[in-house]
Homo-oligomer: A and B are copies of this chain.
């Protein structure tokens, strides 16, 4: 089939019998019509349709020798810097279409899968490892344009350092049985964005201190596998009104807790299990981080452009561009944007061919970008609030504008060169972006995208090549013992 249409995406999703719990009830009926999911699903529909839009088709897809159908370009295994640029262009199109507000647009997981396939050789001939299952999934995903969710946070009864995390009753999802059909998994994962509303769920663990062998696995299974449950949080869709909630009505992605109730993972779906070394190697030596970061930073650049647009439009609407502190705040956003773009460019310019022949973006600039954005994004949202000031607080709704008080609103809320309606639309956008449950969840999401910020700093410090600088200082001082 190759690159899917939006319609095909929705139809396939509606046919799955995934067990999803929402506010105490099991979700029944077409998932694409459920108020908590419909906005997102229709936005994803439009993303898939972009692949077939004549304007974008060339940029969004590629041909594979011997295949008739064009394939979604997020599956492309890059071999040249030009391939990297093509990947970037494709991701920019999707990110622009959603203004960077969809954290898990399909290219994220597709890129992850592509990187897995491109590095599967790491697992070759190692115990309990099945690199061929990765390749098989990659091909199936490409052909069927499958959508994936991923879960990465394990429940923690106790976050103390000295707690080992072992307990008798499995709380974190772990292997409780192996039989001829496959692995049996019991336990939970805490946070899967779009969990339940994709075709499959890909499960693997970030290595950590006291890494339990029973948790050192990776696999992908259909969302409607028996025993698999997705427990949703409350919905952050403000309403279906695009006037009132321009972002949450379209981009609220839902997060869920994933419960494995003795779920059977067939052998052909297992990538590896019970091999701590392989699990660590696979994450650290594969191109996963390079390509995941590459996708994320591209999206964050687009999001920052959007933030800049909102900020500047607010400034123009209430006519405050002459104020020095406003200029300073806007220049802070500009600095953030240019910095992210420069780091992204550098990761591509310094890209190198890895040992399996794929062109891997340089990781250090991406890691730097991934370390600073979690601090920049909340600050950008604060800047939006500081520009909007008390104007963010009492905003009328779409219905107010359709009621007899419309004329009062038109008069009292007009701006220098904007109607009251346009002004309110803009402020509602600013509110949805920074002060609604959708907006604050986005802040928390960007803050923790790559995990604990303190650990990110620490990793960067450890990974960074510092010796040359140290040597130069030692030589300058003629130190003896270095």
Contacts and interface: CB of A to CB of B under 8 A. Distances in A.
Contacts of A445: 393
A299 B294 CA distance: 29
Given A328-B457, A397-B234, A368 B338 contact: yes
A25 B397 CA distance: 11
Interface residues of A, number: 135
A472 B324 contact: no
A191 B477 contact: no
Interface in A96-138: 96, 99
Contacts of A320: 159-160
A283 interface: no
Q: Interface of chain A, helix or strand or loop or mixed? A: helix
Interface in A356-407: 364-365, 368, 371-372, 378, 382, 385-386, 389-390, 392-397, 399-403, 405
A461 B422 contact: no
Interface string A404-444: 01001101111111110110011001000011110111011
A370 to B, nearest CB: 11
A399 B429 contact: no
A5 B338 CA distance: 41
A415 B325 CA distance: 28
A237 interface: no
A233 B395 contact: yes
Interface in A300-348: 305-306, 308-310, 312-313, 316, 318-320, 322-325, 327-328, 330-332, 334-335, 338-339, 341-343, 345-346
A476 B249 CA distance: 13
A163 B319 CA distance: 10
B412 A155 contact: yes
A469 B153 CA distance: 31
A422 B476 CA distance: 12
B306 A472 contact: yes
Contacts of A481: 417-419, 422
A474 B429 CA distance: 11
A476 B331 contact: no
Contact of A461 (B24, B327, B349): B327
A180 to B, nearest CB: 28
A255 interface: yes
B190 A400 contact: no
B324 A324 contact: yes
29 contacts: A24-B403, A25-B403, A99-B472, A158-B416, A160-B416, A163-B319, A171-B414, A190-B390, A231-B405, A232-B394, A233-B393, A257-B408, A305-B469, A305-B472, A309-B469, A310-B473, A313-B474, A325-B325, A334-B368, A334-B460, A334-B461, A338-B364, A339-B342, A342-B343, A345-B345, A393-B445, A422-B480, A429-B476, A435-B440
